[in-house]
Amino acid sequence: MGDRFPTTQWHLLLHARSGPAQQSQEALAALCQIYWYPLYAFVRRQNYGPDEAQDLTQAFFARLLEKHYLDDYVRERGRFRSFLLTALKHFLSNERDHARAQKRGGGLMAESLEALIQSGETRFSVEPSCSSTPERIYEKQWAMTLLDHVLTRLRNEFAQAGKAEQFERVKSLLTGNDDHIPYSLLASELDTTEGALKVAIHRMRRRFREVLRDEISQTVAQPDQVGEEIRYLMSVIAG
C-alpha cells in the first residue's frame, strides 16, 4: 500500500469505493484493519460464535466493496463509524444466509489480515464482562482502535526520525498529567537533559493532538464537529 495513496480514513474510503480495483482492495483492507475488531466485537455480542462472527464480519467488508455499500455514505450526513454500524446491522438482518455461504474474506483476505482475524477472538475472550449494550461496546472498541491507529502513525514518524526509543519510553505520557513524571530519571535513561526532555514531550503531545484531529476530521460531517468528537472519544474511553 505504502505511498500510493494517503492513509487517512476519508481517503481510504474514497479509494475503496471509487479507485482502481487493486487500490480499492488495498484501501478496504486498510479500513478493515481500523474497524474490523470493533465490528467483530459487536457481532459476537449478537450471540454469534467465534467462527460465524469471523465469517460474518469478513463477508460484511467484502460486501461493502462488491455491492457498493460505500456509495450510500455521504460525508455531510454523519460520522463514518455510525454509518458502518448501521450498515452492519442491516447486513446481519438481511444477508446472514449469504454471509454463511461466503468463504471467509470473500476474496478480500490478505496475509496482512490473517493475524488480525486470528487474534480477534483472543482479544474478545479477555474483554471484561459487562452489561453495556453491543452498541456501547462497539463505540468503546472504535475509540481504542482509533487511538491505537494514531499512536501507530506517531510511532512511524518518530522511527523515521531515529527517535523510536524515545517514543516508546514517553508515549504513555501523551495524554496524562505530568505532575509526577520522573523527568530526571527519564532524561538519564534517554541520555538527554531534563529540559530537552520536557520540550520533546511538549512537542510530542502537540503532534499527538494534530494527528488525532486529522484522524477524527476524516470521519465527521463538518470541521466544527471535530472537537465534539474528540471529547466523545475520550469520554467513551474513560467511561
Write down the pLDDT at residue 236.
86
Most confident among 41-55, 74-88, 170-184 (mean pLDDT) = 41-55
Do 34 and 80 touch, CB atoms closer than 8 A?
no
CA 217 to chain centre: 14
Question: All 3 cell numbers of residue 154?
Answer: 506517531
State the SS3 of 31-87. Answer: HHHHHHHHHHHHHHCCCCCHHHHHHHHHHHHHHHHHCCHHHHCCHHHCCHHHHHHHH
More confident residue, 195 or 101: 195
For 200-210, the pLDDT digits (tens) are: 989 999 999 99
Which residue did the predictor score with more confidence, 233 or 108? 233
pLDDT above 70 (res 27): no
The position carrying cell 454469534 is: 48
pLDDT at 186 over 80: yes
Helix (H, G, I), strand (E, B) or coil at 221: coil
Residue 9 pLDDT: 60
With a cut of 60, say whether residue 144 has pLDDT above it. yes
Domain ranges within the chain, ordered by starting residue:
1-127, 133-239
